[in-house]
Structure 1
Amino acid sequence: MTKRITLAVSGSISAYKAADLTSQLKKRGYEVKVIMTEAATAFITPLTLQVLSKNPVHLDVMEEKLAPRIEHIDLGKETDLFIVAPASANTIAHLANGFADNMLTATALALPPKTKKLLAPAMNTKMYDNPLTQRNLKLLAELGYQIIEPKSALLACGDVGRGALADLELILETIDEVLNKNS
């Protein structure tokens, strides 16, 4: 049976890496559905991820295309793994505090309790190290999210430090491990 992944992309300069991640997941035989925040669409187009995933990209929690479906509920029911990559500070804060104000956060809040959840943060070092972000990450870990730690690198803003999206190979290895554990 094909494993189903929901890739949630939030607003970070690293959002462009979602294209390669989607492509690599498809090549590994996974079914991939993509959710994007509005901010993510400023960095990469939904069409790119639609073509690579071979599925419609979900953008608006208030847009229901098929009457019998409630997309944010059904997406959660139909996924084996929910991964936010990249996870911006804003999205992490919303997830940690139970907001459901966009397609990504509403779907996350509606996930069945046993759904596997990964989070790959990407942001400026100062934002990542901020005690509020660290508190939110700790809370999400306690709530069942596995955190794929960002790496230290030269960031888009010119700063050097921890906050760059983890290498795609590490993200892919983590996904494989999580989905193949106990199967």
Structure 2
Amino acid sequence: MTKRITLAVSGSISAYKSADLTSQLKKRGYNVTIIMTKAATSFITPLTLQVLSKNPVYLDVMEEKVATRIEHIDLGKETDLFVVAPASANTIAHLANGFADNMLTATALALPSTTKKLLAPAMNTKMYEHPLTQKNLTSLEEIGYDIIQPKSALLACGDIGRGALADVDDILIKIEEILHEP
């Protein structure tokens, strides 16, 4: 049976890497559904991810395209792995505090407790190292999120430090590990 991955893309300059991640997941035979925050659409278009995933891209929690479905509930029920990559500081804070104010956070809150979850942070070093971000990441780990650490690199803002999205290959390795756990 084909594993279903929901890839949630939040607003980060690293959002463009979600195209490569989507493509690589499809090549490995996964069914990939995309959720994007409004901020993510400033960095990459939904059409790009729709073409690569061969599935609709979900943007608005209030838009129900089929009267018999509640998308954020049904997507949660249908996924084997919920991946947030990139995960911005804003999205991490919303997830850690139970906000459900967009399609990404509403779907995350509606996930069955048994659904596996992976978070790949991407942000400025100071934002990543901020005690509140670290507290939020710890809170998410405590409720079952796997966290793939960002790497140290020259960031888009010109700073050098930890905060760059983990390499797509490393994210893929972690996805494979999670999906093949007993």
- State the TM-score bracket (shorter-chain normalisation): over 0.9
Q: Which residue of 2 aligns with 1:151?
A: 151
Q: Displacement, 1:59?
A: 0.1
Query: Does residue 3 of structure 2 align to residue 3 of structure 1?
Result: yes
Instruction: Measure, in 2, the Cα distance between the counterparts of 1:159 and 1:30.
Output: 35
In the superposition, the TM-score normalised over structure 2's length comes to 1.00
In angstroms, what is the RMSD of aligned CA positions? 0.3
SS in 2 for 1:21: helix
Q: Displacement, 1:181?
A: 1.1
Task: Please list every run of 5 or more consecutive structure 2 residues that lacks an aligned counterpart in the other structure.
Answer: none
Q: Displacement, 1:64?
A: 0.1
Counterparts in 2 of 1:60-75, with a 5 A limit? Answer: 60-75=60-75
Identity value in percent: 82
In the superposition, the TM-score normalised over structure 1's length comes to 0.99
Query: Does residue 111 of structure 2 align to residue 111 of structure 1?
Result: yes
Instruction: Measure, in 1, the Cα distance between the counterparts of 2:39 and 2:129.
Output: 22
Task: Please list every run of 5 or more consecutive structure 1 residues that lacks an aligned counterpart in the other structure.
Answer: none
Q: Which residue of 1 aligns with 2:142?
A: 142
Instruction: Measure, in 2, the Cα distance between the counterparts of 1:99 and 1:59.
Output: 16
Q: Give the letter aligned to residue 91 of structure 1.
A: T
Q: Displacement, 1:15?
A: 0.1
Instruction: Measure, in 2, the Cα distance between the counterparts of 1:89 and 1:178.
Output: 23
Q: Which residue of 2 aligns with 1:98?
A: 98
Query: Does residue 23 of structure 2 align to residue 23 of structure 1?
Result: yes
Query: Does residue 102 of structure 2 align to residue 83 of structure 1?
Result: no
Q: Give the letter aligned to residue 113 of structure 1.
A: S
